[in-house]
């Protein structure tokens, strides 16, 4: 058996700004993730109900992260959900109430990330 070691940058998206893009912001680049101690996060107000979103860079060219597949795209509050680079499927949050939510992306491999959403 051969052991393998993988090394990743702590800021796994490097110098590329990454945004939460979805129905809550017109799929724009208004909500940039901030890197802090091994993860990227942001907090914003979300209206109650179902909202689709992804994690992407400004032009969707290098970073476009969404659901692993169309059957596994529902976000459960407080539970990490695997995401897939180059996915055609959006993640879906069914926000139980209008309010503040924190979106957290963890790596360290940008090709194998998780999203956790918590209600504040």
Give all domains of the chain, ordered by start, each with its CATH number: 19-119 (2.60.40)
68's CB contacts (< 8 A; 6+ apart) are 82, 83, 84, 87, 89
111: pLDDT strictly greater than 70? no
| HSE-up of residue 114 (Cα within 13 Å, Cβ side) | 11
Res. 109 pLDDT band, cuts 50 70 90 = low
For the four alpha carbons of 37, 117, 56 and 69, in that order, the dihedral sign comes to positive
Section 33-47 average pLDDT: 92
Neighbours of 1 (CB within 10 A): 2
Neighbours of 47 (CB within 10 A): 11
Helix (H, G, I), strand (E, B) or coil at 101: strand
Res. 69 pLDDT band, cuts 50 70 90 = confident
Task: Compute the distance between CA of residue 26 and CA of residue 116 in angstroms, rounded to an integer.
Answer: 21
Prediction pTM value: 0.87
Main-chain phi, psi angles of 18, to 5 degrees: -125, 140
The better pLDDT of the pair 7, 82 is held by 82
Task: Compute the distance between CA of residue 12 and CA of residue 91 in angstroms, rounded to an integer.
Answer: 20
At 20 the pLDDT is 97
At 107 the pLDDT is 80
């Amino acid at each position: 058996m051969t052991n393998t070691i993988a090394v990743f940058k702590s800021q796994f998206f490097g110098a590329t700004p990454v945004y939460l893009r979805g129905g809550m912001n017109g799929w724009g680049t208004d909500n940039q993730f901030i890197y802090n101690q091994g993860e990227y996060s942001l907090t914003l107000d979300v209206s109650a109900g179902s909202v689709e979103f992804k994690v992407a860079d400004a032009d969707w060219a290098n970073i476009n992260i969404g659901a692993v597949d169309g059957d596994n795209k529902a976000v459960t509050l407080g539970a990490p959900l695997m995401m897939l680079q180059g996915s055609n499927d959006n993640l879906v949050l069914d926000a139980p109430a209008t309010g503040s939510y924190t979106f957290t992306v963890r790596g360290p491999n940008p090709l194998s990330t998780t999203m956790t959403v918590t209600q504040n």
